[in-house]
Chains A and B, each alone.
Chain A
Amino acid sequence: METVDQEVRSRISAALQEVVGRPVAVSDDTDIVNDLGLDSLAIMNFVMALEDEYDISMPLDRMAEVQTVGDLVRTIEDLRGEKRK
């Protein structure tokens, strides 16, 4: 599980770098809105790229609960798990 998380974490990190347009230090505690200054449009595009990558759709209520990169890792893992069920 830890290695799977790590893989998702590095994909998120790469996707974030692309959206922000510069190298950023990303940890589980990084606040996607407050630390990275992304607006809602940038977040949507970034999440949609991840959705394609993992062939999942993130419902809006789940997305609303995501604040940090760690939250996002867990949500993506949960959605992938639900898909495999």
Chain B
Amino acid sequence: MTILAKFAPLKEAYDLLRAQGADPFSQKFEAILSPTEGILNGRRTILLGTNNYLGLTFDESCIDASVEVLKAQGTGTTGSRIANGSYAGHRDLEKSLAKFYGRKECMVFTTGYQANLGILSTVAGRGDHLVIDADSHASIYDGCRLGHAEVVRFRHNDADDLYKRLRRLQDQPGDKIIVAEGLYSMLGDTAPLKEIAAVKRETGAYLIVDEAHSMGVLGATGRGLAEEVGVEADVDFVVGTFSKSLGSVGGFCVSDLPDFNLLRVACRPYMFTASLPPAVIASTIQALNVMQERPELRTRLRENAQRLYDGLTALGFATGPQASPVVSVSMPDRGFAIAFWNALLEAGLYLNLALPPATPTGTPLLRSSVSAAHTPAQIDTAIGLFAEVGRQLGMVAETAPKRMTA
């Protein structure tokens, strides 16, 4: 018995999972060849689960910008911005992001996770109320736990339930802050943000939207769901990440609120961690430029997403409610999901295996994320492998597939 004995049930579940094949949570790539291919267990493998939406991780201009700054400014800042100061790049990136979003202020964080941790725990104080979507990402839940506000959940994507929760709070003192995501990362569904914004206006609450998976993906210029549905003016804080469409690592928050910069000396996950290395900042600034200069990447991403979604749906797989760069297939049970995932991996297709209770549906999911860098041929190969494995496991009929209707 050690202090880790409390994890015995987890160990048992994890051991069981690993006994059934490869370990889905610690795959070791021998090489990454491109945004869409890697070498895994000696095999060329299509990457269909890495959130590399615009495929910018190997963009030459981003790499060049990063290398140049790496040589000129060194490998790291060795400390936080309040202790070691900001480099020109940190401030430039904040200005670029604020400009891109048409906002007055921006704060850059070291990861997307920390952006949520910092903003939620600081903006909502003791006596305030956070009202969050029940399917929120772990970083939102953890940000809520780090702060001192009271936290209640509303039913996923249910603006009526949100309204009900705010109505119950109407006589209580303190600010009310709604938290929603642009695109939910497990099923690829978007928030009913127009309705949520209307509830926000009616109840006088604040609204935080996490556009981590929708930046560079949705909206006329890639600003996300709020841009797409025309409610940017209702969003008080946009939180996002650099580790998806922008191909690096880091997070940010933009806002028009006066005194937003006060958070720089109040927000602990900003103050007490090392700032991003200048080379990371440099590639991120360039990726933000590329994202704006090449809207065709977004078009290609949507085409690829639609192609995969249509292909898998036509095979009869239970996909999410709408075509998006996240395409998840629901599996009937755990054993099936694990066998399916292993068979795809052995055939050269890498995607994510999500198991309950970490899934919103209570069923296991095979989660794909599509990239603008995928070729139509790669998407077709993926659909073909789903069909092949589906047939082997008796999930897809041997005859010509027909479209499943809901």
Contact = CB atoms under 8 A, between A and B. Distances in A.
B356 A59 contact: no
B357 A48 contact: no
Interface in B235-255: none
Interface string A15-43: 00000000000000000000000011110
Contact of A44 (B144, B150, B153, B356): B153
Contacts of B169: 57
A51 to B, nearest CB: 9
B274 interface: no
A58 interface: yes
B: interface residue count bin = 10 to 19
What's the dominant secondary structure at chain B's contact region?
mixed
Nearest to A82: B172
User: Which of A42, A44, A58 has the most CB atoms of chain B within a 10 A radius of its CB?
Assistant: A44
A39 B357 contact: yes
B356 A60 contact: no
Contact of B168 (A41, A42, A48, A57): A57
Interface residues of A, number: 15
A83 B153 CA distance: 18
Nearest to A62: B150
Interface string B148-181: 0011110100000000110011000000000000
A78 interface: no
A41 B152 CA distance: 15
A41 B151 contact: no
Contact of B152 (A42, A52, A60): A60
B153 A41 contact: no
A56 interface: yes
Nearest to A60: B151
B335 interface: no
B389 interface: no
Contacts of B360: 41
A74 to B, nearest CB: 18
A61 interface: yes
A57 B150 CA distance: 11
A60 B168 contact: no
A54 to B, nearest CB: 10
B362 interface: yes
Contacts of B144: 60
15 contacts: A39-B356, A41-B360, A44-B134, A44-B153, A48-B134, A48-B153, A55-B168, A56-B168, A57-B152, A59-B150, A59-B152, A60-B145, A60-B151, A61-B150, A83-B168
Interface of A: 39-42, 44, 48, 52, 55-61, 83
